[in-house]
Amino acid sequence: MPAIRNSIRFLLNDREVEVTDISATATLLDYLRLDRRLRGSKEGCAEGDCGACTVLVGRLRGDELVYESVTACIRFVGSLDGCHVVTVEHLADADGALHPVQQAMVAEHGSQCGFCTPGIVMSLYGLWMRQPDPSTVEIETALQGNLCRCTGYAPIVRAGKAISTYGALGQDRLVAERQRIIERLKSFRDGARVELGEGQDRIVIPASLDDFADFYVGEPAATIVAGSTDVGLWVTKFMRDIGPLVFIGGLEELRRIEENEDAITLGAGVSYTDAAPALVRRFPQLADLWNRIGGEQVRNMGTVGGNIANGSPIGDTPPPLIALGAKIVLRHGAERRKLSLEDFFLAYGKQDRRPGEFVESITIPALPEGEQFAVYKITKRRDEDISAVCGAFRVAVGDDGFVQTARIAFGGMAATPKRAKTVEAALVGKPWTAASIEAALPAFAEDFQPITDMRASAEYRLLVAQNLLRRFHLETTGAAERLERGAA
Ligand SMILES: Cc1cc2nc3c(=O)[nH]c(=O)nc-3n(C[C@H](O)[C@H](O)[C@H](O)COP(=O)(O)OP(=O)(O)OC[C@H]3O[C@@H](n4cnc5c(N)ncnc54)[C@H](O)[C@@H]3O)c2cc1C
Ligand code: FES
Ligand code: FES
């Protein structure tokens, strides 16, 4: 059993903070605005969508310090142990001189109502620290999670491009003082488990992965919090009492990515942002989907393990991972078992996970050479929207032109992420031709009886699923490219 510490310690701008008494579900935004009187960060939606509350959180990754934009409205204070929280108040100098990001926003008229501006400034600041000369696409990506309803984005994008004309990155406080901040954050590391509060308000931050496994076996009713991009809304929107909370976002062992020729293994705590380089290099077909999961703040916080464990029928990672044949490792104390991802989802809201068991890792096997794979996300708006339907397709077509194997999985079509086994069976052994596709389409209605909800009607879902198979066929046979060229 590790030593116990009864406080959460982090850096808030340039101050060290030690919190000993706080509600388990206290959000960073409430803490900043109500407790610390730092009111620059705004509350727009309180559900991680609008970005008005964006702040930067710096965390040590090995010896490196990485700053990421996050939405403070759905981030709990308990998740900040050992981190550096940077709010918009930290940007201007003490004499009031604006930071280059702020100067650029003023000069380019990037602010009108001003309510969304601090969040936009923080997102642009996070990008500028990584990339002082960003492209339009990089700026748009950084702003996917920031909604501005009045100025339009053109002046904001112009401001994003102009930042470096108002100051050099080397003179930025977080850059110039990086080493000193790293030392301060390292001094917080004492290898202790953090325990605070009682009952619903209990906060536990395990000292290590083994410590978490031990704790969770003994207290399976505790709510696991990884990136809190789902859990946060249970509190801010559904007003649920979900304590005690066990925070696993800081466990380095869960943030590991391991690769070999045969597979890539993601620790369950790997965020979308951290997973992207390795995963997209291996599966370029995931690039578009990955970039459309939430906005940048959600991708910085949200984890693949959380998406799977949450078990939502419209989570975006299960369809492609099921099509790719991913397996997960579930851990209960020191015991581990491996399960095909598709078998994890039993029914709506019910997964094959016993009390005290958690998702430890996800292993995705390499795609055998020659196999075709694609995933399509269908939403009402392109960015930062939840899927109405997400379809993933994978086929192996032999030299004779006949389908040898097919794995097709959908989100948004059933109460769980689910394979289209009847469609698969209708394709295997048939020639990979438009006629075979057309013949297989009726099988969708056997696999799926989707519902009508605010995202799409049942009829639309069924039709779009069928059309996605058509599209996949056209793309894999090169016909889609030909059609596009023809249209142009
Ligand atoms: C604005 C916004 C946009 C979003 N857009 C998308 C989107 O486009 N596509 C999409 O799929 N999702 C989207 N989401 C949902 C969410 O971001 C994802 O589901 C995310 O992957 C959840 O991961 P997390 O780490 O934040 O999980 P958390 O919220 O921390 O946890 C989610 C659930 O998983 C459990 N859990 C977490 N880790 C583990 C573990 N290792 N073992 C066992 N249980 C665990 C928690 O107890 C909880 O039940 C969005 C959310 C927001 C707020
Ligand atoms: S208040 Fe809208 S994202 Fe936080
Ligand atoms: S300036 Fe605030 S919504 Fe656009």
Region of residue 393 (left: phi > 0; alpha: psi -120 to 50; beta: else): beta
User: Which of these ranges, 193-202, 267-276, 378-387, has the smallest mean pLDDT?
Assistant: 378-387
149 Cα–ligand 3 center, Å: 5
Is the Cβ atom of 150 under 6 angstroms away from ligand 3? Answer: yes
Q: What is the pLDDT of residues 369-405, one digit of tens each?
A: 999 999 999 999 888 899 999 999 999 999 999 999 9
The mean per-residue pLDDT over the stretch 230-259 comes to 96
pLDDT at 383: 86
Helix (H, G, I), strand (E, B) or coil at 373: strand
pLDDT at 416: 97
Enclosing H/E stretch for 439: helix 434-440
The number of angstroms, rounded, from the C-alpha of 353 to the middle of its chain's C-alpha atoms is: 22
DSSP string, 176-197: HTHHHHHHHHHHT---PEEEE-
For ligand 1, atom 14: residue with the closest CA: 294
For 73, list phi and psi in degrees, rounded to 5. -70, -25
For 101, list phi and psi in degrees, rounded to 5. -65, -45
- pLDDT of 469 strictly over 90: yes
The mean per-residue pLDDT over the stretch 231-238 comes to 96
pLDDT at 405: 98
Q: Which atom of ligand 1 is nearest to the CA of 297?
A: 1
39 Cα–ligand 3 center, Å: 17
Is the Cβ atom of 73 under 6 angstroms away from ligand 2? Answer: yes
- pLDDT of 43 strictly over 70: yes
95 Cα–ligand 1 center, Å: 41
pLDDT at 431: 98
Q: Which of 123, 151, 153, 157 to mutate to test the pocket of ligand 3 (most atoms within 8 A of CB)?
A: 151
The mean per-residue pLDDT over the stretch 272-292 comes to 97
Is the Cβ atom of 50 under 6 angstroms away from ligand 2? Answer: yes
148 Cα–ligand 3 center, Å: 4
pLDDT at 260: 96
2 Cα–ligand 2 center, Å: 36
Q: Which listed ligand is nearest to 148 at the C-alpha?
A: 3
Quote the tokens at residue 145: 């999670």
Q: Which atom of ligand 3 is nearest to the CA of 115?
A: 2
417 Cα–ligand 1 center, Å: 15
DSSP string, 52-87: TTEEEEEEEETTEEEEEEEEGGG-BGGGGTT-EEE-
- pLDDT of 486 strictly over 60: no
Closest by CA to 249, choosing from 272, 269, 276, is: 269
46 Cα–ligand 1 center, Å: 16
Is the Cβ atom of 46 under 6 angstroms away from ligand 1? Answer: no
- pLDDT of 63 strictly over 90: no
Provide, rounded to the nearest whole percent, the portion of the chain with pLDDT above 70. 98
Q: Which atom of ligand 3 is nearest to the CA of 111?
A: 1
- Name the pLDDT band for 481 (thresholds 50, 70, 90): low
Q: What is the pLDDT of residues 348-363, one digit of tens each?
A: 999 999 999 999 999 9
Q: Which listed ligand is nearest to 353 at the C-alpha?
A: 1
Q: Alpha-carbon distance 156 to 240, whole Å?
A: 37
Is the Cβ atom of 48 under 6 angstroms away from ligand 2? Answer: yes
Beta strand residue intervals within 341-480, DSSP E: 345-347, 350-351, 357-365, 372-378, 389-397, 403-411, 418-419
Is the Cβ atom of 301 under 6 angstroms away from ligand 1? Answer: yes
370 Cα–ligand 2 center, Å: 44
DSSP string, 85-102: EE-GGGTS-TT-PPPHHH
Q: Is the pTM of the predicted complex or chain greater than 0.85? A: yes
Is the Cβ atom of 364 under 6 angstroms away from ligand 1? Answer: no
Q: What is the pLDDT of residues 73-130, one digit of tens each?
A: 999 999 999 999 999 999 999 899 999 999 999 999 999 889 999 999 999 999 999 9
DSSP string, 316-366: SSHHHHHHTT-EEEEEETTEEEEEEHHHHEEETTEES--TTEEEEEEEEEP
pLDDT at 487: 41
- pLDDT of 176 strictly over 50: yes
Is the Cβ atom of 55 under 6 angstroms away from ligand 2? Answer: no
Provide, rounded to the nearest whole percent, the portion of the chain with pLDDT above 90. 94
Q: How high does pLDDT run on average in the chain? A: 96
- pLDDT of 173 strictly over 50: yes
User: Which of these ranges, 35-44, 157-166, 382-391, has the smallest mean pLDDT?
Assistant: 382-391
- pLDDT of 139 strictly over 80: yes
- pLDDT of 277 strictly over 70: yes
Q: Which listed ligand is nearest to 50 at the C-alpha?
A: 2
The mean per-residue pLDDT over the stretch 439-465 comes to 96
pLDDT at 156: 97
- Name the pLDDT band for 67 (thresholds 50, 70, 90): very high
Q: Alpha-carbon distance 396 to 403, whole Å?
A: 6
pLDDT at 382: 86
pLDDT at 265: 98
